[in-house]
Structure 1
Amino acid sequence: MTAILSEEARLRDEIVEVGKSLFDRCFTFGSTGNISARLSNGDLLMTPTNASLGALDPARLSKFSAEGIHVDGDKPTKEAFLHQCMYCERAGAGAVVHLHSTNAVAISLIDGLDPDDLLPPLTAYYVMRVGKLPMVPYFPPGDVALAEAVRERARESHAVLLANHGPVVAGKSLREAQYATEELEETAKLFLMLRGERIRPLTSKERDELLAKQA
């Protein structure tokens, strides 16, 4: 029991630290975005509704039981199910980051991109940290139909992009989820900067070699 309490205190502080870092560097804004982390007993800690990631209180984070029941803390975000769906499909996930980051949202608005893999493999770190980015069709925020759509896409990738909304990214740890989300946003920025230019993304062979090392 003492170990769980110590783990929970550490994760609460880490969520606050990561949230402030993302907010201060303009990866999120206002009260947008949410972060969660999973304890070793299956319980979830999550940023609450109407909370700025730049001003979180560790004691007020929403807490869910392993069964998905809100048991403590402030009122949870209506997007809690996005996190829960990722955990259901990604057994090794220890954290999930969901942002409304500008460049990633812009990618979700471009017509004609491959919905099974929206961004080309521009850099090795994008391939290693994100790998594949499928699109989840648009549903209004909080719509329960979005849950099944996220669940479907999460079976094939730990990172998905919600149409007209933003990315949802799972990682083995909170830092891993954070870094993958940041890599996704920066690659989206590169992609938008290079539109209209002839580009040299990694070849299929180079991409596959990187993914093989990740396995």
Structure 2
Amino acid sequence: MSSESKLREQICLLAKSMFDRGLTGGSTGNISARTEDGGLLVSPTGSSFGRLDPAKLSRFDAAGQHIAGLKPTKEMPLHSAFYETRKSAGAVVHLHSCHSVAWSMMPEIDPDNVLPPLTPYAIMKLGKVQLLPFFMPGDAAMGEALRSLGGKRSAVLLANHGPVVAGKDVEAACNAIEELEETAKLAIMMRGFDARALTPAQVRDVVRKFEVEWE
């Protein structure tokens, strides 16, 4: 099996795993990954994470031209913005995961650092998560908002919409976005309690030990 065939299978396997566990439902969510030749494989528009067909994924060449497969997700501006501003990005995932969407609506969140430091793992896998304002689905302005961050964030949370995460490969991106969802779930569970979060010193220690981007 070629490396591209393996990547196609991996994209569909991981997407179905997230769908089966309720991380994104219906035809929501989209996923993309870099191919060895510098192109992209992208989930088609209107497709379900539970029923992606490896042979029908949208295929882009290294110049960004759609050359095969079904029409790509309408959220391509988000994916393109991450690939253009973060050279380390090998994959991008966007979900409508319930707790992350709910957390994006909370009035007390810090737009520059959305997640409270409840565990070290979100810090390690995501760094600081930026809140972006509400945009109409598919609006190219989402991509421009992401570009304005200058590649300083590997993860953003779209207000009233859901998270978008870039990773070095498709498995890393999926693991990171699941950590975001679990942290948002924890934050909601602890809301209203006087929970003991990590101290600023503990956060600095995690950032230093695991060489986390933290600007």
Q: Same fold (TM over 0.5)?
A: yes
Q: Which residue of 2 aligns with 1:10?
A: 6
Q: Which residue of 1 aligns with 2:97?
A: 101
Q: Distance in 2 between matches of 1:101 and 1:173?
A: 20
Q: Secondary structure of the equivalent of 1:54?
A: helix
Q: Which residue of 1 aligns with 2:48?
A: 52
Encode CA deviations 1:17-70: one digit per residue, 9 max, x unaligned: 001100000001000001111012210001001110001100000011222221
Aligned-residue offset at 1:168? 0.4
Q: Is the 8 A contact 2:4 2:36 kept in 1?
A: no
Q: Which residue of 1 aligns with 2:135?
A: 139
Q: Is the 8 A contact 1:161 1:168 kept in 2?
A: yes
Q: Which residue of 1 aligns with 2:201?
A: 205
Calculate the TM-score normalised by the size of structure 2.
0.94
Q: Which structure 2 residue ranges, 5 or more long, are not aligned?
A: none
Aligned-residue offset at 1:154? 5.9
Q: Is the 8 A contact 1:86 1:154 kept in 2?
A: no
CA RMSD of aligned residues (A): 1.2
Q: Is the 8 A contact 1:16 1:53 kept in 2?
A: yes
Q: Is the 8 A contact 1:153 1:160 kept in 2?
A: no
Q: Which residue of 2 aligns with 1:181?
A: 177
Q: Is the 8 A contact 2:58 2:71 kept in 1?
A: yes
Q: Is the 8 A contact 1:136 1:153 kept in 2?
A: no
Q: Is the 8 A contact 1:98 1:166 kept in 2?
A: yes
Percent identity, please.
53
Q: Which residue of 1 aligns with 2:21?
A: 25
Q: Which structure 1 residue ranges, 5 or more long, are not aligned?
A: none
Q: Is the 8 A contact 1:154 1:160 kept in 2?
A: no
Q: Which residue of 1 aligns with 2:152?
A: 156
Q: Which residue of 2 aligns with 1:68?
A: 64
Aligned-residue offset at 1:122? 0.5
Q: Distance in 1 between matches of 2:150 and 2:36?
A: 21
Amino acid corresponding to residue 81 of structure 2 in structure 1: C
Calculate the TM-score normalised by the size of structure 1.
0.94
Q: Distance in 1 between matches of 2:135 and 2:63?
A: 25
1:86 equivalent to 2:66? Answer no
Number of aligned residues: 211
Residues 89, 214 of structure 1: alpha-carbon distance in 2 compared, 3 angstrom cutoff: farther
Shift >6 Å, 4+ stretches: none
